A and B are shown apart, each in its own frame.
Chain A
């Protein structure tokens, strides 16, 4: 359990949010030209690292907005929160 600082509503408890997986995955420009392996790579393969990870979160029981969170998966420490479309901080 941890507290997330929603960029729109302020600090809220984790149970108000839904996790949306890894952030900044770019959809291939020409999906029809990809092989099945490349397409599967885009659809299913995630880094799942131990350490600092960039994630998408949705404030499902509050403002219902999507935003990005930088979270350390080993201890759930949240390093940064930024809105969709903003430049990600470096870690």
Chain B
């Protein structure tokens, strides 16, 4: 992880809502269509990619999010060390996927910021700035959506009851975080 100056510096908490950035987390975007691609990913990572829309799958180390019929995001469940810029999983996938011409692997570790939100008012907060209908989403553990929050593209992963992971592009993260704090303070 490159040591950028961080925009989200503190953990914020309100009644029924806590949010903080979790870092550094390894994140990869993988793209591919072929059946061999899916099986090669499964074998390399010991993780089946979700093929059903808006779902995710999980192993001990990794979580895979469905983004589109041929695109997934994989992220580490645990934080990696700050002084390490080498990623075993990326190297492994480069060898087994990119070099075999099965699909594309892109490291987006520094592109996306992971904001962890906890509490029972998460979806009240989202409802103030998103056109997405969260009714079914909140009931289903592991559901994933790409949508807009305060006019910013986000990926939201429903971890379990009252806890979600939100991915936002780094350049938007400061604005989104301050918007969420502002919005949370009025809930």
Q: Answer whether residue A13 sits at the interface, using C-beta atoms and an 8 A cutoff.
A: yes
A15 and B147 CA atoms in complex are apart in Å by 10
Contact: B132 with A12, CB < 8 Å? Answer: yes
Cβ-Cβ contact count across A and B, 8 Å cutoff: 37
Interface of B is mostly: strand
Given contacts A62-B146, A63-B146, A64-B68, contact A10 B54 (CB under 8 A): yes
**Interface residues of A, count at CB 8 A:** 13
Distance in Å from the Cβ of A87 to the closest Cβ of chain B?
Answer: 20
A residues within 8 A CB of B36? none
Contact: B131 with A16, CB < 8 Å? Answer: yes
A residues within 8 A CB of B69? 8, 63, 65
B residues within 8 A CB of A11? 133
Q: Answer whether residue A26 sits at the interface, using C-beta atoms and an 8 A cutoff.
A: no
A residues within 8 A CB of B67? 63
Q: Answer whether residue B153 sits at the interface, using C-beta atoms and an 8 A cutoff.
A: yes
B20-40 toward A: CB 8 Å interface, digit per residue (1/0)?
000000000000000000000
Distance in Å from the Cβ of A49 to the closest Cβ of chain B?
Answer: 28
B127-154 toward A: CB 8 Å interface, digit per residue (1/0)?
0000111000000000001111000010
A84 and B133 CA atoms in complex are apart in Å by 26
Distance in Å from the Cβ of B181 to the closest Cβ of chain A?
Answer: 23
Distance in Å from the Cβ of B79 to the closest Cβ of chain A?
Answer: 28
A64 and B148 CA atoms in complex are apart in Å by 13
Residues of A at the B interface (CB closer than 8 Å) are: 8-13, 15-16, 61-65
